[in-house]
Amino acid sequence: MAENNEIMEITSGYVSVESVELEETNIETNKEVVDTKDNNEIDVDVAEVIKDLHSMNYIELSKFKNDIEAERQNLIGAMNLIKSIEEMGNNEETDDTKKIALSNIFEDSEFLEDTSKFKESYNVNITKLDTIKSEIEKEIEKYNCEKGTKFLTDQMIELLNKKLDACIKNNALAFSIEIVKNTLDAYKNRTNLSYILNQIKDSRLLCDVKADVVLYPDKTVIKSNNEFAKYFTEHQIEMFDKYVIENFNNDEYAMKVFKAHLARILNKGKNQGKHNYVKVIVMNALDIVENVYDLEGGKEAFDNQLKEMYSYYKKMS
């Protein structure tokens, strides 16, 4: 199944499949569904896939649904391309064009020469995918509750616990286990920003970050935004900045230091999963803006921690 690496919003909140980087931690939704690029028929037992759905939680189901829909669109696109190619005339020039076009959707040389097998299995494949998607939607409908921050965070924690158990059971490499553990800790402690607070109490680190902001202000801002852009859209970053700076008394210098510090963690902490401590801060702010934040302490507790951070990030008189 093709991977979807874009940020995927499951609800109006910003707890998302991408937000815990399932591809990074190798959490899989279902191993049975395969890419159809090299197969004339999807090699999958639909009944077995449907049976496996019962063990998936809301986030797994939501990602699986997106994957199924993406695969369905791939099939439709391939069929439309084949139809367009068949409408071309037959000559040496168009034959070369056809081969180039088909090579973009088929790697199997047999299909490049003859698309009949793909066409023969097309309706069967679409039916399989539609059947699976319909059953996924039925499972999702069972989650008849508000999809606020708490619900989605609990679902993410459940998913990460599954992954951690699987890593330990399969004797995964230590660094893989560390990534999952740190990611899990970040989500378990979304209301507690102590990881960031403990770092900024290190005066040497903070002085280093502040020096970058003073000496290279424009370059530092660009680098910071580039790191955030790896995980969030431009609009999300703008909303986050607006929310935080209001808690920083509109202090632009403190905001630059704050972003530069978090950008360092995003950059250097990814290989240990520690960048998730930053991502949950951003998601908290976005969820508050979207009015779906319902974690313990609410907006007030989160804002108080931002204000505590501000006391370190601001210029000292």
Domain ranges of the chain: 31-144, 156-313
* pTM of structure: 0.80
**28, two tokens:** 């899989």
pLDDT tens digits, one per residue of 209-258? 999 999 999 999 999 999 999 999 999 999 999 999 999 999 999 999 99
How long is the chain?
A: 317
Residues 6+ apart with CB under 8 A from 235: none
Q: What is the pLDDT of residue 300?
A: 97
Q: Which amino acid is at 86?
A: E
Give 192 or 83, the one with higher predicted confidence: 192
The rounded distance, in Å, linking the Cα atoms of 45 and 238 is: 45
3-state SS assignment for residue 16: strand
The rounded distance, in Å, linking the Cα atoms of 262 and 281 is: 10
Query: Could you tell me if 60 and 159 are in contact, meaning their C-beta atoms sit under 8 angstroms apart?
Result: yes
In this prediction, residue 133 has a pLDDT band, given cuts at 50, 70 and 90, of very high
The DSSP output letter for 310 is H
The mean predicted confidence, pLDDT, of the chain is 84
Q: What is the pLDDT of residue 104?
A: 67
In this prediction, residues 28-35 reach a mean pLDDT of 45
Burial of residue 295, with CB atoms counted within 10 A of its CB: 0-12 exposed, 13-18 middle, 19 or more buried: middle
**282, two tokens:** 């951003």
Q: Does 54 have pLDDT greater than 70?
A: yes
In this prediction, residue 18 has a pLDDT band, given cuts at 50, 70 and 90, of very low
In this prediction, residue 16 has a pLDDT band, given cuts at 50, 70 and 90, of very low
What is the percent of the chain where pLDDT is above 90? 65
| CA 279 to chain CA centroid, nearest Å | 11
